[in-house]
Amino acid sequence: YVFSNSSELNGTELEPLLLSRAVPLGLALGAFIIFAVAGNILVILSVVCNRHLRSPTNYFIVNLAIADLLLGTTVLPVSATLEILGYWVFGRIFCDAWAAVDVLCCTASIMSLCVISIDRYIGVSHPLQYPNIVTGRRALLAMLGIWILSLVISIGPLLGWKEPPSPDDKVCVITEEPFYALFSSLGSFYIPLIVILIMYCRVYVVAKRTTKNLEAGVKTETMNSGEITLRIHRGSQVHEDPGAAAKGRPSQARNSLAVKLLKFSREKKAAKTLGVVVGMFTLCWLPFFLTLPIGRYFSYTVAQFAPLPSMLFTRSISAK
């Protein structure tokens, strides 16, 4: 979401463009946009060109990169122009489309982080069953759902769910209509944030418990055919508990189980890295989404009740 202080413009009175401000600001914003676009392109190419990286988890990361790439190529350049000039120069129709794409890309980016957190929880809590739970087809369906939900949230203002447009074509802001602001904040941020926090709390609990079991040399995993207990020793040797065969696990799968079990450390490391990303994401977005619905809804409520004191005062005067 991008807002501008261009609403402070008064009629056609425009502040003169100061080159001492515009040039450094343009260079800084341009460098930021180039860095964002190049970084996301590299992420996409690394997965597309390396077949060993084509996994459901990386598909979700590519989906996140696509959302951020669209944001960097379609929204940020226009936002930079608006910030440098201080007023809107692209017309009313393009303003509405730009605002919708802004909400679309930001929502898809946030929801991608939400899906990644769910994926990491499954990977850490069920490392052996993960390939059967998170398949390529289910990953594609999840990504399709992300973009559909993002479109539903972003398309409202294009269908008329917005405040009356400013009569000044040089002003362009994302609508702050109170109920849409609340709806978009819940769908774009608060609900995904709650899911993310729950998932990473569960990842922490599962990782802590599994790490404790691994340090003790015992790992129990539930399979479709029963329960297996593995005893882990130094040197990557994994021995099956004598009672495991009686519980329904074929002995010839020991090596496969050992390899998959040792992948837990990688899953844990990936979860930690993505946890840092999610933490930074929360710190960056939380102030905005706190002020968006609360500020607008508060001002709306105040406006509704503002006449009440004068009405009561008038009635008290009339009663006298």
Residues 135-186 have pLDDT tens digits of: 999 999 999 999 999 999 999 998 888 888 777 778 887 777 888 888 988 9
CB 85 within 8 A of CB 235: no
Q: Which residues, including other chains, have CB under 8 Å from residue 198's CB and lie 6 or more apart?
A: none
Q: State the pTM of this model.
A: 0.74
Q: How confident is the model at residue 239 (pLDDT cuts 50, 70, 90)?
A: very low
Q: Which residues, including other chains, have CB under 8 Å from residue 110's CB and lie 6 or more apart?
A: 188, 189, 192, 193, 281, 285
Residue found under tokens 């010839």:
252
Which stretch, 1-10, 38-47, 82-91, has highest mean pLDDT?
Answer: 38-47
For range 66-85, the mean pLDDT: 93
- Residue 76, sorted as left (phi over 0), alpha (psi -120 to 50) or beta, turns out to be alpha
Average pLDDT of the chain? 76
For residue 129, the model assigns a pLDDT of 87
For residue 40, the model assigns a pLDDT of 94
Residue type, 196: I
For range 11-22, the mean pLDDT: 68
For residue 91, the model assigns a pLDDT of 85
Is it the case that residue 31 has pLDDT exceeding 90?
Answer: yes
Residue type, 309: P
Domain boundaries of the chain, sorted by first residue: 17-299
CATH topology of domain 17-299: Rhopdopsin 7-helix transmembrane proteins (1.20.1070)
For residue 149, the model assigns a pLDDT of 96
For residue 102, the model assigns a pLDDT of 92
For residue 312, the model assigns a pLDDT of 41
Task: Tell me which of 234 and 130 has the higher pLDDT.
Answer: 130
Task: Tell me which of 188 and 246 has the higher pLDDT.
Answer: 188
Is it the case that residue 307 has pLDDT exceeding 70?
Answer: no
> d(Cα 111, Cα 134) in Å, to the nearest integer?
17
> d(Cα 238, Cα 254) in Å, to the nearest integer?
8
Task: Tell me which of 59 and 225 has the higher pLDDT.
Answer: 59
Residue found under tokens 């002003």:
171
Is it the case that residue 108 has pLDDT exceeding 80?
Answer: yes
Task: Tell me which of 257 and 73 has the higher pLDDT.
Answer: 73
Residues 251-306 have pLDDT tens digits of: 545 555 555 556 666 666 666 776 777 778 778 777 777 776 665 554 444 334 43
For residue 238, the model assigns a pLDDT of 46
